[in-house]
Structure 1
Amino acid sequence: MKMLVLLTTAATLAFSAQAFAAAPECAANASLDARVAAALAKPDRPASETAIDDVRRSEVRFLVAHVKPGDHVLDLGAGAGYSTMILSAAVCDGSVDSQNPEKWDVDFKARPAREALAKARPNIHLLTTDFDKVPVPAPLYDAIFIGTIYHDTYNFPGHDAAAVTKDLYSTLKPGGIVIVVDHKSADGKGAAETNTLHRIEKATVLTDFKAAGFELAEDSDALANAADDHSLKVFDPVVKGHTDRMALVFRKPK
């Protein structure tokens, strides 16, 4: 937290929209490898984030592959902002709305870190709202990222999965995408382990998004791990950072 708060004015200037747009990784012909490497190499990223890059590199690559310079992106359930910073670099002169419920900012003391991100990166904007009450932005989002927290939406009092996905649908432009990465439960578990093992069955996620009107655009095994038998809590040292994760992309029809 403290390292984030100490970001300098010089870093803020370095990561202006103009600086992003002029960077080689923001060129139309930039390779995915170059874009991923550049996002991870930004010097304002705190040690608490760079320390986990090795276990999140595959997720970062999957995420960056599905956004582009100029995109307006929502990072839903951003936590302290790891993926927000990656997205901020990947969209270059685009923008990122970094969302948390107020309860997360309070319970996990995430607000200071998020405020530091927004101060350091002019293309990051904070959004504090319930998961099912994200306001319709102008312009509509090109992409929404839900990184290992979709299962958490089931754990809030009064949760209604239909309300969350329906709300997200309304914030996304026609043809826009939702990128979902989450820890898999075993087949047949549905949403029974969202608050115990912090896992959710892929079939449940597919059903939720289909019911909201989304089309499945991609079902990737990029984050799969056959060695995970789905029986352990995702924070267990045996599987932490190496769970079997779904990597899904849903599209709002044009």
Structure 2
Amino acid sequence: MVSQRILSFALVLSLAGSLFGLTHTAMAAEAPECAPSATLDTRIEAVLAKADRPAKQRANDANRLSETRFVLDHVKPGDHVLDLGAGGGYASYLLSAAVCSGSVDSQNPQKWDVDFKALPAREEMAAARPNIHLVQSDFDKVPMPATPYDVIFIGTIYHDTYNEAGHDAVTMDKTLLATLKPGGLVILTDHRTADGVGAAATDTLHRIDKATVLADFKAAGFELVEDNDSLANPADDHTKNVFDSSIRGHTDRMALVFRRPLH
């Protein structure tokens, strides 16, 4: 028979656990970016202000502000998000705060984690942010999540997928489609080439033709729901490598939103 003392102790633990859960929930709700009435400006300011973000990433905030605004305008608290080709985790940090009680799967190919030495910083990020989970996979072999994604973010790396051995864009995009819930979104930004270049400059200039991206996603079964010009730069002549100091951070970029059809 269970003693009265054990029952009393269990009750205390249960009450304490409930209180902690309520307190934790209340604290999350009090975060400016998580408040139901938070404006986009409030959310962006709060997300960028997080003290645990690496200084090297903070230095990029001004150049990436337009992209951050575009992305967070399509992400909400509670979302389950995949950050595809996360690199060092700049967007993963921002998404982690923006989804509040949600979660972020931060994906890199093994080559990026090992050869480009991205893994240590990513492991540090995941330790600092419990709602970030690291995924290491090929772009076309992203594991099926237990809960479908609400959003997939592909930030200026879609062209890089073309440089992987055996790449098939439509196959990859169909894999991504399967990981999304019906109505789920893909938010994509990338550096543009001149019209008509297709995928010929993905490795040389690190750019891709917008028409190629649109065709890929249409063939995979996605619907285009937004073609935004907030990242456009008409002064970019599309002939320079995106890392050229004269254009870096100011390239002409596409900003697209695709949706998995509801049916």
> What is the TM-score when the length of structure 1 is the normalising length?
0.92
Q: Within 5 Å, give how 1:1-254 maps onto structure 2.
A: 19-254=27-262
8 Å CA contact 1:18, 1:93 repeated in 2: no
RMSD: 1.1
Matched residues in 2 for 1:118 and 1:215: separation?
A: 32
Matched residues in 2 for 1:221 and 1:53: separation?
A: 19
Matched residues in 2 for 1:123 and 1:17: separation?
A: 14
Matched residues in 1 for 2:87 and 2:172: separation?
A: 18
Q: Extract structure 1 runs of 4+ deviating beyond 6 A.
A: none
Report the CA distance between 1:20 and its aligned residue.
3.7
Residue 167 of structure 1 aligns to which amino acid in structure 2? T
Tell me, what secondary structure is at the counterpart of 1:197?
coil
Residue 133 of structure 1 aligns to which amino acid in structure 2? K
Report the CA distance between 1:41 and its aligned residue.
0.4
Matched residues in 2 for 1:138 and 1:32: separation?
A: 29
Q: Unaligned 5+ residue runs, structure 2? A: 1-23
Matched residues in 2 for 1:127 and 1:90: separation?
A: 19
Residue 170 of structure 2 aligns to which amino acid in structure 1? A
Which moved further from structure 2: 64-73 or 21-30? 21-30
Report the CA distance between 1:19 and its aligned residue.
4.3
Tell me, what secondary structure is at the counterpart of 1:132?
helix
Report the CA distance between 1:21 and its aligned residue.
3.7
Q: Per chain length, whose mean CA-contact separation is higher, i.e. which structure has more relative contact order (CA < 8 Å, sep 6+)?
A: 1
Matched residues in 1 for 2:250 and 2:76: separation?
A: 27
Matched residues in 1 for 2:61 and 2:109: separation?
A: 25
| 1:8 alignment partner in structure 2 | none
8 Å CA contact 2:188, 2:256 repeated in 1: yes
8 Å CA contact 1:76, 1:147 repeated in 2: yes
Change (3 A) 1:20 1:108: farther
Count of aligned pairs:
239
Matched residues in 1 for 2:106 and 2:153: separation?
A: 10
Seq. identity, %: 69
Which moved further from structure 2: 50-59 or 21-30? 21-30
Report the CA distance between 1:18 and its aligned residue.
6.7
- Show CA shifts across 1:96-145 (max 9, x none): 00000000001210000000010000100000000000111121000000
Matched residues in 2 for 1:244 and 1:44: separation?
A: 31
Which has the larger Rg? 2
